[in-house]
Amino acid sequence: MRKNYLLTPGPTPLPPEVCQALGKPIIHHRTPQFQAILKEAGEGLKYVFQTQNDVFILTSSGTGAMEAAVANLLSPQDTAITVEGGKFGERWTELCKAYGVGAEVIKVEWGKVVDPSEIEKRLQANPGIKAVFTTLCETSTGVATDIEAIGKIVAKYKAVLVVDAISGLGAIDLKADAWGVDVCVSGSQKGFMLPPGLAFISVSKKAWDLVSASKNPRYYFDLTTARKALQKTDTPFTPAISLVIALVEVLRMMKQEGLENIFKRHSLMASATKSAMKALGLELFAPSAPSEAVTAVNVPAGIDGEKLVKTMRDVYGVTIAGGQSELKGKVFRFAHMGFIEEFDIIAGISCLEKVLKEMGYAFELGAGVKAAEEVFSKK
Amino acid sequence: MRKNYLLTPGPTPLPPEVCQALGKPIIHHRTPQFQAILKEAGEGLKYVFQTQNDVFILTSSGTGAMEAAVANLLSPQDTAITVEGGKFGERWTELCKAYGVGAEVIKVEWGKVVDPSEIEKRLQANPGIKAVFTTLCETSTGVATDIEAIGKIVAKYKAVLVVDAISGLGAIDLKADAWGVDVCVSGSQKGFMLPPGLAFISVSKKAWDLVSASKNPRYYFDLTTARKALQKTDTPFTPAISLVIALVEVLRMMKQEGLENIFKRHSLMASATKSAMKALGLELFAPSAPSEAVTAVNVPAGIDGEKLVKTMRDVYGVTIAGGQSELKGKVFRFAHMGFIEEFDIIAGISCLEKVLKEMGYAFELGAGVKAAEEVFSKK
């Protein structure tokens, strides 16, 4: 007998309501029954995105919605700013290159957060810049960006602000309208507690003006087609019906818990996790701007980081994530995002302690769990 | 109490094994566990596609894989042939236009099938043509194209043959390698008996040469990236994990039944359906080249076609499809694709009889069901 625990920054665990919804017989998508579902999903997404703008549902991974942003907003020879502080920031640059868009890359040391004034300098120097591409929570490093501060800056220029909120939306605060986020991109398998397969994208009026001017080729991810379909409560192409039906379930759950409570819960989980890591003598990879969706931790000297992750997963059933790209083997990432509460954290920390002990790392068994419990008991 | 029957050309009903697989807790995709699933899925897809070429799994609707074909094979200013005999043939032309590819459109009257020699004429006249885009089963009209004959022709030229087999693959025969299909596109929600959300695409050596020369922008649907990932038994972006897990279930079912038996079953279902329609005095829309995946039937004079479909669905729980675009209200489409056996057909015909009778159409009640039973009893 073995139970499995999922503490990765996507996919995140599915609530039983989601599993049940996914396991139901399928219905046809061009029916009044599915239209009612699409309508409820659209309203629920506006609540989570904190926007009055339309939020489109795409059948793709989050990257598909990132491509939709680049392909619909820009044209070849346009210039955009991309903020690269990890693997997912780099994706914006790669997408711009794929579409012939000049990227002014702001390189940020992995684990550090971008200084918003750096973005303002670039916008001042080049008034032709059409878009600023940023990342809410850089999953690869566990860093959270100050989108509110960046939004205030970008609003003063003609550029639009595009945020990859794939990791983080529905877990940490992002007020799309109040903060001036023109295009916000997210995905189903993180804060939304669903399997991967859906992406979401909101588009402001300022962004629609760019869409009408864009000369990039696009079809499946064309937002103009999506808008025409949405006006008839439809999708341009067959959507991932079962995932949309499950989306309505999670949106109901999220509305019932309330965004403020969801953010508080994630904050508490992050706090307990960080406290536990410190008590185990471990260092955070990004102490200056840690995300409350995922905590990246330096692998201590003398410990094989990849073996740590594999042993937790393959021997004990607790899946956390290792490091990506240049952080491979150097960090592990302990996620506390989505359908996660205190005893998931306790289980994860306990398993981490067990394997660290087996691997010869010196610490007092129980210290991590105790520190987490102390945070939870104070809430 | 009401039971629901789904007799639409996508989505098609889900086997209980699929519902169960979809309702399981999610697993992470960068694990040996998921790699084993991806490997089995890849092998199973090769079996169904009847190919030795790699078959890629994309997280999108089938249209995403159609876009992948156009975006990866061609460059702006290239010329391609598109065969338009319905809504989905037209999609190839739209995709070519979106990517600046010149489309030599072969217009075929809806309900009729393309004459392969028409394709040869165009290829002879313009040796620069790079691709021929066709449709295995035109869902909007219920017509099946003779891909084998077209394949023999296209093989003689430098153009590649691309087939939209979204409707039909895994229901009617298509031997990708033996028939010279260079790129074959399919989707999860038809012959594959899954919810929508996955698309599949196979690529021949001849097609890979075009891919390396293509100058179209692409990222999410880039096949070169997909190939690199597949070599490591991985996907470039987070896949729709739960759908891939369910895919392995249906591929096992399909292997167990065997392709030949699957095709025979679909042929029998089509035969019984057509027989029932004739017995009810109804005419097929496409009698010259009917697909064995879906049967399009002319709505008889004096009957409101849209009301017929709505009543069957909203009053009695039996969902068939109406006509699309220019066929709206003029035909109904009775699908017999995927997880469908004789008593589904009987139920569907019985409901059709019930509603036709209510709507005042003159026929002998039971005549359709009797005709279908006669076909089944002779098998």
Contact at 8 Å (CB) between A5 and A347? yes
Distance CA B118, CA B100 (A): 24
Distance CA B280, CA B369 (A): 9
Which among A231, A251, A185, A202 has a CA at the least distance from the CA of A53?
A202
Q: A25 falls in which pLDDT band (50, 70, 90)?
A: very high
Q: What pLDDT sits at residue A286?
A: 96
Span A364-374, average pLDDT = 98
Whether this model's ipTM surpasses 0.90 comes out as yes
Q: What pLDDT sits at residue B310?
A: 98
Provide the 3-class DSSP secondary structure of residue A156. coil
Distance CA A16, CA A294 (A): 23
Distance CA B66, CA A321 (A): 34
A260 burial class (0-12, 13-18, 19+ CB within 10 angstroms)? exposed
Q: What pLDDT sits at residue A379?
A: 75
Residues B292 and B190 in one domain: no
Residues A25 and A161 in one domain: yes
Distance CA A12, CA A165 (A): 15
Could you report the per-residue pLDDT of B81-113, keeping only the tens digit for each?
999 999 999 999 999 999 999 999 999 999 999
For chain B, state the CA radius of gyration: 21
Residue B360 in contact with partner chain A when CB distance is under 8 A: no
Last residue of a domain, one of A227, A257, A287: A257
Could you report the per-residue pLDDT of B140-164, keeping only the tens digit for each?
999 999 999 999 999 999 999 999 9
Residue B317 in contact with partner chain A when CB distance is under 8 A: no
Residues B30 and B125 in one domain: yes
Could you report the per-residue pLDDT of A270-304, keeping only the tens digit for each?
999 999 999 999 999 999 999 999 999 999 999 99
Residues A325 and A234 in one domain: no
Residues of A in contact with B98 (CB under 8 A): 217-219, 222
Tokens of A41: 């999903």
CATH number of the domain to which B118 belongs: 3.40.640.10
Q: What pLDDT sits at residue B57?
A: 98
Residues B285 and B240 in one domain: no
Q: What pLDDT sits at residue B2?
A: 86
Distance CA B125, CA A158 (A): 50
Span A43-68, average pLDDT = 98
Last residue of a domain, one of B210, B231, B257: B257
- Is it the case that residue B1 has pLDDT exceeding 90? no
Residues of A in contact with B11 (CB under 8 A): 26-29, 238, 241
Could you report the per-residue pLDDT of A320-360, keeping only the tens digit for each?
999 999 999 999 999 999 999 999 999 999 999 999 999 99
Residues A102 and A249 in one domain: yes
B317 burial class (0-12, 13-18, 19+ CB within 10 angstroms)? middle
Residues A170 and A79 in one domain: yes
Beta-carbon separation of B64 and A220 below 8 A: yes
- Sheet of strand B331-335, all strands in order from the earlier edge strand to the far edge: B294-298, B331-335, B321-322
Range of the domain at B33: 16-257
Beta-carbon separation of B239 and A61 below 8 A: yes
Contact at 8 Å (CB) between B184 and B201? yes
Residues B129 and B224 in one domain: yes
Could you report the per-residue pLDDT of B2-50, keeping only the tens digit for each?
899 999 999 999 999 999 999 999 999 999 999 999 999 999 999 999 9
Residues of A in contact with B95 (CB under 8 A): 219
Residue B237 in contact with partner chain A when CB distance is under 8 A: yes
Residue B63 in contact with partner chain A when CB distance is under 8 A: yes
Distance CA B245, CA B225 (A): 22
Distance from CA of A220 to the nearest CA of B (A): 6
CA terminus-to-terminus distance, chain B: 34
Report the residue from A19, A32, A61 with minimal CB separation from B238: A61
Residues of A in contact with B217 (CB under 8 A): 71, 98-100, 216-217
Beta-carbon separation of A23 and B28 below 8 A: no
Could you report the per-residue pLDDT of B239-295, keeping only the tens digit for each?
999 999 999 999 999 999 999 999 999 999 999 999 999 999 999 999 999 999 999
Which among A182, A193, A199 has a CA at the least distance from the CA of A67?
A199
Residues of B in contact with A8 (CB under 8 A): 28
What does the mean pLDDT of chain A come to? Answer: 97
Q: A1 falls in which pLDDT band (50, 70, 90)?
A: confident
Residues B95 and B175 in one domain: yes
Last residue of a domain, one of A257, A282, A310: A257
Residues B130 and B252 in one domain: yes
- Is it the case that residue B379 has pLDDT exceeding 80? no
The residue that leads in pLDDT, B379 or A123, is: A123
Cβ–Cβ contacts within 10 Å for residue A185, how many?
27
Tokens of A365: 């068994």
Q: What pLDDT sits at residue B253?
A: 98
Q: What pLDDT sits at residue A2?
A: 86
Total domains, chain B: 2
pTM score of the predicted model: 0.97
Distance CA A181, CA A153 (A): 11
Residues B195 and B337 in one domain: no
Encoded amino acid at B112, one letter: K
Distance from CA of B59 to the nearest CA of A (A): 5
Tokens of B134: 């066709």
Distance CA A246, CA A262 (A): 19
Provide the 3-class DSSP secondary structure of residue A15. coil
Residues B285 and B161 in one domain: no
Tokens of A289: 């701007």
Q: What pLDDT sits at residue A197?
A: 98
Distance CA B304, CA A89 (A): 55
Angle between helices A241-257 and A32-49 (to 10 degrees): 40
Maximum distance among all Cα pairs of chain A, rounded to whole angstroms? 62
CATH number of the domain to which A349 belongs: 3.90.1150.10
Q: What pLDDT sits at residue A264?
A: 98
- Matching residue, tokens 């991967």: A196
Q: What pLDDT sits at residue B249?
A: 98
Distance CA A357, CA A368 (A): 12
Distance CA B229, CA B235 (A): 5
- Matching residue, tokens 């990708």: B176
